[in-house]
Structure formats: structure tokens, C-alpha cells
């Protein structure tokens, strides 16, 4: 698994489309037989970022969270009418530490959200009928990767400027540090927790 390459592509992204191309290259390295040229950067990226920023702002508007968990779930997308990200909040997390122990004790959960481009992307590469481990590599590189690009950009856009650690990853699976917010701005971490 090339987790470090995936995290680096998201962390260093200055252009989301170019970062996406790197994520596709990572996914395709495990399944060269698939028709990866058919996979395109979602046209809805800017809208996905705007919608996610509004969702995060609204979810955190009346709660003093210092730790926020953004959990990815491919099972409840319901053909684009469901959700693929949940949000959990904790007011006792220490945003100065790179620990995620607090994630397992979220005090509050908000309304779930659908990143539309993530659903469409997932639907596209599922048509390749990838076998394990290529299917796992694609989920990490593309599902985790695209969601990381969207959610990090959304946090950079959102008007949420409190000391807070944001963690994202698969629901009941691997989790990663996404961003740390403060009054002075957003720090894109995109790394393994300590």
C-alpha cells in the first residue's frame, strides 16, 4: 500500500486536478489492465468544496469542537441520493497534539453529507471490476484521495477559525490527520497520526 504517496499528493496539492492525476497513477500501478484513461477529474470539484465548506460550518456552528472526525462511507451513497461522509465532534481533543484517541469518543454527531463528485468517481472506477488488492489501492488512492482534496480545500475556505484538529478516513478503518485550524488560518497536515 502506498499510503505515504497518497497523503503526500493531497498535502502538497497546489492544483487539485494535477494532484488527482497523481492519485490515478497510484491506483493504476496495481491494475494496469483497467482503462484508467476513462477516469477524469470530477467537474463538480469546486461545487463539492463549496458544499462541504457550508456543511462543515453549519455542523460546527453551535458546538465548541476541538476535534472533528470526518468518516468516509461508501456503503450509504444510495445511487447518489445518500451520503458518503459523516461528522463527529469532540470538545476535549487537544488540537496541539497529533493523537486521534478522542475520535473514538465523539460527543456529538452531525448530519451526514454527500460529496457528489466522490460518488461519481467511485461509481466510475467500480466499473473496472478491480480485484483485491487493486480494489483496495483504488479505494485508498481515489476515494480517500479525492475526499482529502475536497475536505482540505473546504476547511481552507470555511469561516471556521477555532483551534481544532480535523481527522478523516474510512468509517471503522484507517484514519489520518487532515488539517489543524486556528485563528491564524488552516494548516494542511495530511499525515499519519502520532
Q: What is the pLDDT of residues 147-182, one digit of tens each?
A: 999 999 999 999 877 999 999 999 888 999 999 999
Backbone angles phi, psi at 69, to 5 degrees: -105, 130
**What's the rounded mean pLDDT across residues 132-161?**
93
Domain tally, the chain: 1
* Residue 133: partners with Cβ closer than 8 Å, 6 or more residues away: 1, 30
Distance CA 179, CA 191 (A): 9
Supply the pLDDT for residue 1: 57
Calculate what percentage of the chain has a pLDDT beyond 90: 82
Percent of the chain with pLDDT over 70: 99
User: Which is higher by pLDDT, 133 or 24?
Assistant: 24
SS3 of residue 118 by DSSP: helix
Collect all residues with Cβ–Cβ distance below 8 Å to 8 and sequence separation of at least 6: 190
pLDDT at 124: 93
- Using DSSP's 3-state secondary structure scheme, residue 127 falls into coil
Mean confidence (pLDDT) of the chain: 94
Residue 111 carries which DSSP code? Answer: -
- Give the pLDDT confidence score for residue 31 in this predicted structure: 84
Range with the poorest average pLDDT among 54-58, 66-70, 137-141, 166-170: 137-141
What is this structure's pTM?
A: 0.96
Which three three-digit cell numbers place residue 172?
471503522
Range of the domain at 104: 3-191
pLDDT of amino acid 159: 85
- For residues 29-47, give the mean pLDDT: 91
Instruction: Give the C-alpha separation, 51 to 118, whole Å.
Output: 13
Reading the block at residue 182, the C-alpha cell is 486556528
Which SS3 state, helix, strand or coil, does residue 76 take? coil
131 pLDDT exceeds 70? yes
Confidence class for position 79, pLDDT limits 50, 70, 90: confident
SS3 178: strand
Give the confidence band of 108 by pLDDT, cuts at 50, 70, 90.
very high
pLDDT for the residue numbered 167: 98
DSSP annotation of 97: S
CA angle at residue 5 from 102 to 93, to 5 degrees? 10
Amino acid at each position: 500500500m502506498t499510503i505515504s504517496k497518497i497523503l503526500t499528493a493531497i498535502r502538497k496539492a497546489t492544483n487539485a486536478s494535477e494532484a488527482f492525476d497523481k492519485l490515478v497513477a497510484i491506483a493504476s500501478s496495481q491494475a494496469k489492465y483497467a482503462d484508467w484513461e476513462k477516469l477524469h477529474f470530477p467537474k463538480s470539484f469546486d461545487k463539492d468544496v463549496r458544499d462541504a465548506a457550508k456543511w462543515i460550518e453549519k455542523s460546527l456552528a453551535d458546538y465548541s469542537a476541538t476535534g472533528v472526525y470526518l468518516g468516509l462511507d461508501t456503503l450509504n451513497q444510495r445511487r447518489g441520493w445518500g451520503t458518503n461522509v459523516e461528522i463527529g465532534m469532540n470538545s476535549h481533543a487537544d488540537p496541539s497534539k497529533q493523537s486521534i484517541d478522542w475520535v473514538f469518543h465523539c460527543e456529538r454527531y452531525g448530519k451526514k453529507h454527500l460529496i457528489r463528485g466522490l460518488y461519481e468517481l467511485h461509481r466510475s472506477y467500480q466499473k473496472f471490476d478491480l480485484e483485491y488488492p487493486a480494489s483496495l489501492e483504488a479505494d485508498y488512492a481515489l476515494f480517500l484521495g479525492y475526499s482529502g482534496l475536497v475536505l482540505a480545500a473546504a476547511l481552507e475556505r470555511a469561516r471556521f477559525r477555532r483551534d481544532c484538529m480535523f481527522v478523516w478516513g474510512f468509517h471503522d478503518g484507517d484514519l489520518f490527520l487532515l488539517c489543524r485550524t486556528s485563528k491564524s488560518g488552516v494548516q494542511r497536515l495530511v499525515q499519519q497520526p502520532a
